[in-house]
Structure 1
Amino acid sequence: MCSNYDPVLNAATLRQHFGVEPPPADLKPRLWPGYIGPFIRKHENVDVGDEAVPFRELMAGSFGLIPHWAKDTKIARKTYNARSETVHEKPSYRDAWRLGRHCIIPAEAIFEPDWRSGKAVPTRIIRADGKPMGIAGLWTGWKQPDGEILRSYTMLTVNADDHPFMRNFHKPDDEKRMVVILQDEEYDAWLSASADESRFFLRQFPTELMTFSE
């Protein structure tokens, strides 16, 4: 599970690794559920036949999915991670899953609690190759009281009980989970995948490509 992460905000990094322009608004360098962060989706006009329209676009939205039926944004505090095993049936996520509203969350690092000492030690986790993470997620839109649409997103997770690296995190008796980190070459395929095709991408990231950061 991941409730705290550092988003990619550097314009050059976003262009080089994700092929998108940076968001227009100033965003916080460390995010928690309910904060506004960047996510990448398939451009809403990419299928109109205009070659000038890029395949991907970067949006700003709430970290924590806010389904269309929510009464307010408080639900984002509970919907920042979606279990891949049940995402298709849970009320908060099932519409976004069914509609194939896939997104990529660009992250410099994620934070998880290391309990091996008997106490929770916040640990910054990065890719060992120095590249940013592209985390698989879902996005949606919620109509605010003023009529404006607030976009939001969630990170997809998989079981990590047998993952040599990620099984070191969270309380000893808790199930081990990890976010789905996509391979770089999978970005466009993930954004285009239908609900039926989505399961292929929901797997553990290789242990040798993950490490700690000071």
Structure 2
Amino acid sequence: MCSHYEAPENERLLAGFGVAPDSKLPIDLWPTHMGPFIRLRHEEAREDDLPELEALTGQFGLLPFWAKDRKLGRQTYNCRSETASTKPSFKSAWKKGQKCIIPVSAFFEPDWRSGKAIPTRITRTDGGVMAIAGLWEKWKDPDGQIVHSYTMLTINADSHPFMSAFHKPNDEKRSIVILPNGLIKDWLNSSVEQTTSFMQPYPADRLKVENRPG
């Protein structure tokens, strides 16, 4: 499960997606940090010749309407796709089809093959930005301010040639859902019934380790 990742700079977001947040955000992100996510723009706004996509700033760690404070995000930064439709934290966003992508330059997973956890930086082999399938939510804080938030969807990776190398030996292996570039808009435009069809493993030969333990 991914709890640490690097977000692309705004210049890369504009080049890859045509949109970026209004302000610069931290690159190194952990749960409850604020980062960029991309979703479809509301249909009314599209009529004004604005881009089909929009980039927002939200908390890494989804906040359902009933969250008491932002600390819940420490537990909701990843969402198991198999149970997203029933888990209290995620079922509303899932059933409403509040899909997004989280742009990622690199993510980190613990490599336990040496007997201890070694934080390992993972990127695309071509150096491109990864589009992680996610869910977004809108929450109102105690002061009445709207806070957007997001979570990364995950799938089982026990048999994945690359992602099965991470996490503790006896734990289930999991992977975030990395969307091929050609499926990004299909994912965002898909119906709720079609959501699970996008929960597929990313080709192992398109991922690489930047600092493999010795």
For this structure pair, what is the TM-score category when the shorter chain's length is used for normalisation?
over 0.9
Match of 1:84 among 68, 78, 81: 81
Alignment-derived partner of residue 3 in structure 1: 3
Kindly state the Cα deviation for residue 51 of structure 1 after the two structures are TM-superposed.
5.2
Task: Tell me the distance in 2 between the aligned counterparts of 1:136 and 1:208.
Answer: 19
Alignment-derived partner of residue 117 in structure 1: 114
Identity of aligned residues (%): 51
Alignment-derived partner of residue 16 in structure 2: 17
Kindly state the Cα deviation for residue 47 of structure 1 after the two structures are TM-superposed.
4.6
> TM-score, with normalisation over the residues of structure 2?
0.96
C-alpha change, 1:38 and 1:49, in structure 2 (3 Å) is closer
Task: Tell me the distance in 2 between the aligned counterparts of 1:193 and 1:19.
Answer: 20
Kindly state the Cα deviation for residue 137 of structure 1 after the two structures are TM-superposed.
0.1
Alignment-derived partner of residue 127 in structure 2: 130
Task: Tell me the distance in 2 between the aligned counterparts of 1:63 and 1:167.
Answer: 24
Alignment-derived partner of residue 29 in structure 2: 31
Instruction: Decide which moves more: 184-193 or 91-100.
Output: 184-193
Q: Which ranges of structure 2 fall in alignment gaps of 5 or more residues?
A: none
Task: Tell me the distance in 2 between the aligned counterparts of 1:10 and 1:19.
Answer: 10
Alignment-derived partner of residue 136 in structure 2: 139
Kindly state the Cα deviation for residue 146 of structure 1 after the two structures are TM-superposed.
1.5
Runs of 4+ that moved beyond 6 A: none
Task: Tell me the distance in 1 between the aligned counterparts of 2:44 and 2:155.
Answer: 31
Alignment-derived partner of residue 164 in structure 2: 167
Task: Tell me the distance in 2 between the aligned counterparts of 1:125 and 1:49.
Answer: 35
Task: Tell me the distance in 1 between the aligned counterparts of 2:44 and 2:187.
Answer: 16
Task: Tell me the distance in 2 between the aligned counterparts of 1:149 and 1:180.
Answer: 27
Task: Tell me the distance in 2 between the aligned counterparts of 1:99 and 1:192.
Answer: 12
Kindly state the Cα deviation for residue 37 of structure 1 after the two structures are TM-superposed.
0.3
Alignment-derived partner of residue 202 in structure 1: 199
Kindly state the Cα deviation for residue 48 of structure 1 after the two structures are TM-superposed.
5.6
Kindly state the Cα deviation for residue 49 of structure 1 after the two structures are TM-superposed.
5.7
For the residue of structure 1 that corresponds to 2:29, the secondary structure is: coil
Alignment-derived partner of residue 184 in structure 2: 187
Q: Counterpart of 1:121 in structure 2: which amino acid? A: I
Q: Counterpart of 1:195 in structure 2: which amino acid? A: V
For the residue of structure 1 that corresponds to 2:82, the secondary structure is: coil
For the residue of structure 2 that corresponds to 1:85, the secondary structure is: helix
Instruction: Decide which moves more: 168-177 or 189-198.
Output: 189-198
Across the two proteins, how many residue pairs are aligned to each other? 211
Alignment-derived partner of residue 208 in structure 2: 211
Q: CA RMSD in A?
A: 1.1
